[in-house]
Amino acid sequence: MSNATHPSELKILFVCMGNICRSPTAEGVLKKKLADLALADKVYIDSAGTHNDHPHARPDSRTQRHALKRGYDLSHMRARAVEDRDFEAFDLLITMDWDNRALLEERCPPKHAHKIRGLTEFLQISHASAIPDPYYGGDQGFEHVLDLVEEACDGLIKSLIMKAPQ
């Protein structure tokens, strides 16, 4: 559930369609990477879906299995849908693909439109235009998502550190 009163300096919401594969992966990866840098208390991170197909469900078991192999425990997460208050509460709403970005932009009050970004904007080496949905694919799809999300989260952290006041 979104928390507009969380004391963190920055609030990031990752968004995909159902909030059971890509966005919880991004949430878990960024949380761990920030914790490893002793920056976890500076950023509040959550995830949500543009569709409410899996309310309160845990991340997909394949998502959890592949993430755990890389040290990301997603078992405590529960799916939720994007809420209107998220546009006000979060500083960045980061989408996984163009379809979900379009759905967010359609709902977003104009004064918050600048907060919507795509995760692939933060890729440093790869040239993907979207984080692909691994739901109907095999194990390689989940590994590919993790590869892209890890790289993009590194780029996001780099971007945030460069913008932080000294």
Encode the chain (166 residues) as per-residue pLDDT tens digits: 444 455 668 999 999 999 999 999 999 999 999 999 999 999 999 999 999 999 999 999 999 999 999 999 999 999 999 999 999 999 999 999 999 999 999 999 999 999 999 999 999 999 999 999 999 889 999 999 999 999 999 999 999 988 766 5
SS3 letters for 102-147? HHHHHHCCHHHHHHEEEHHHHCCCCCCCCCCCCCCCCHHHHHHHHH
Of 46, 60, 86, 133, the catalytic one is: 133
Of 21, 22, 86, 97, the catalytic one is: 22
Q: Which tokens go with 96?
A: 């996984």
Examine the residue annotation and report whether 16 is marked as an active-site residue of this protein. yes
Examine the residue annotation and report whether 22 is marked as an active-site residue of this protein. yes
List of domains in the chain: 10-163 (3.40.50.2300)
Of 16, 21, 108, 153, the catalytic one is: 16
Global pTM exceeds 0.75: yes
Examine the residue annotation and report whether 153 is marked as an active-site residue of this protein. no
